[in-house]
Amino acid sequence: MTRPARIAIAIFLTLAAMPCMGFFFIGFMHSWELNSPMQRLPWQVTYGFLELVSLVILIFAWRYALRPERMAGICMKCGFSLRDNTTGVCPECGISN
């Protein structure tokens, strides 16, 4: 998958998850309307879990979208040209490609 396609997917996920962000605070305020603290706790845990899940999805989507692409003939670590290299090991940094 190309980088622009990955970024488009990450943007779509961000726009889809934006309404979910802030659920913990809304749920916390909503839970104070309930009478007992034991009724509040499940709401607070549920909203906190939704907030955490949406944040983790967004972090992984953007990390995937912005990761560097592997270019043929160039070392991923130092950028050294490996065009005529037959060993598969970068002579500059020693990383095998």
Q: Answer yes or no: do 54 and 14 share one domain.
A: yes
Residue 78 sits in which domain range? 71-97
The per-residue pLDDT for range 14-64, each reduced to its tens digit, is 888 887 777 667 777 777 776 677 777 777 788 888 888 888 999 999 999
Phi, psi of 84 (to 5 degrees): -100, 10
Amino acid 83: pLDDT:
83
Q: Answer yes or no: do 56 and 83 share one domain.
A: no
The per-residue pLDDT for range 68-81, each reduced to its tens digit, is 777 777 887 888 88
Reduced to 3 states, what is the DSSP secondary structure of residue 44?
Answer: helix
Amino acid 10: pLDDT:
93
Q: What's the domain count of the chain?
A: 2
Phi, psi of 83 (to 5 degrees): -60, -45
- Other C-beta atoms lying within 10 Å of the C-beta of residue 20: 15
Amino acid 35: pLDDT:
66
Q: pTM above 0.85?
A: no
Reduced to 3 states, what is the DSSP secondary structure of residue 57?
Answer: helix
